[in-house]
Amino acid sequence: MTPAARLRFTVALTLAFGALQAQDRGPSEIIHHRVNPNLSGPHVAFGAAPTAGSTSALTAPLKYHGGPVFSTPTAYIIWYGNWAQGNGTDTASGQQIVTDFFNAVGGSPYFQINTTYVGSSNSISGNVTYGGATTVAYPYGASLTDANIQSIVTDAINSKALPSDTNGIYFVLTSSDVAESSGFCSQYCGWHTHGTINGLDIRYAFIGNAARCLTSCAAQSTGPNGNAGVDGMVSVLAHELEEATTDADGSAWYNRRGYENGDLCAWTFGTTYQVSNGAYANMKLGTRDFLIQRNVTIRSNGQFCSLVK
């Protein structure tokens, strides 16, 4: 079944409230990461600290609905477009920022949050394996549809550029000159879903370079690693990684309004600090500083948006 044939989780930005207009949903839908509600906020224009967010317990907590989760997912990258441009963002050094994130996030205090999701069909380890990457140019052009994203993943598997892995999450990461016609930059910054590829249930995600629309898909105009577009992309990527881990097919962990863990904490960052170039960060993974949106941790006294479990 193609993504276009599945029910979609429709999102609409409500500027007055800076929130997602939620609706009930069932399984097997494309789950979007909404755009930054602070589209013209002072943190974009003037470098003020990104939104910390509430420390109160969530009033609409996540519940387990019986679907599959990943114990330890393997992350694969498909670099789509031109990642050898001279624009300072779609570059080999930008790609290295993402690779370094994948190699460091597993086992981190941040990703260990997901181990608090007990009662699932299998336990979540809080680890991530990086499975490698492949690069393609523009076989589907520079304006992609949702169905194209599944085709890109299918091509990578069928060409054996990447293995066919039911324990994998395939991330299609596009350069800043590539559009996603169903709403990238206007309604969402990334999404995850699953589909049948060669008879197997394969999970995959789309994230575009935030340099295409910094005020929609990044929290600041200067990134802690000197690449605002890719630094913003990593925050969305982390959001999709944790959601795909805890809600692989859209039928595991979500709340009564259809929100997943990352949705409930989207565009909030907790305590931040400044790095040498003036950008804000909230965690160090490996040798790099990152500014990454919070995740829901489940504790005995409630569920909270946090950077640690």
pLDDT in tens, 59-94: 999 999 999 999 999 999 999 999 999 999 999 999
Closest to 89 (Cα-Cα) out of 158, 173, 152:
173
Percent residues over pLDDT 90 in the chain:
83
- Report whether pLDDT(9) > 70: no
| Local confidence band at 35 (pLDDT 50, 70, 90 cut-offs) | confident
| pLDDT score recorded for residue 47 | 63
| Local confidence band at 122 (pLDDT 50, 70, 90 cut-offs) | confident
- Report whether pLDDT(20) > 70: no
DSSP 99: H
Q: What stretches of the chain adopt beta strand conformation (E)?
A: 13-14, 19-20, 31-34, 63-64, 74-80, 129-136, 143-144, 168-174, 179-180, 188-197, 200-208, 253-254, 273-274, 280-281, 283-285, 288-290, 295-299, 302-306
pLDDT in tens, 232-273: 999 999 999 999 999 999 999 999 999 999 999 999 999 999
Assigned fold of 60-306: Collagenase (Catalytic Domain) (3.40.390)
- What tokens appear for 184 in the block? 């990238």
Average pLDDT, rounded, for the chain: 89
Residue 135 burial class via C-beta count within 10 angstroms: exposed 0-12, middle 13-18, buried 19 and up: middle
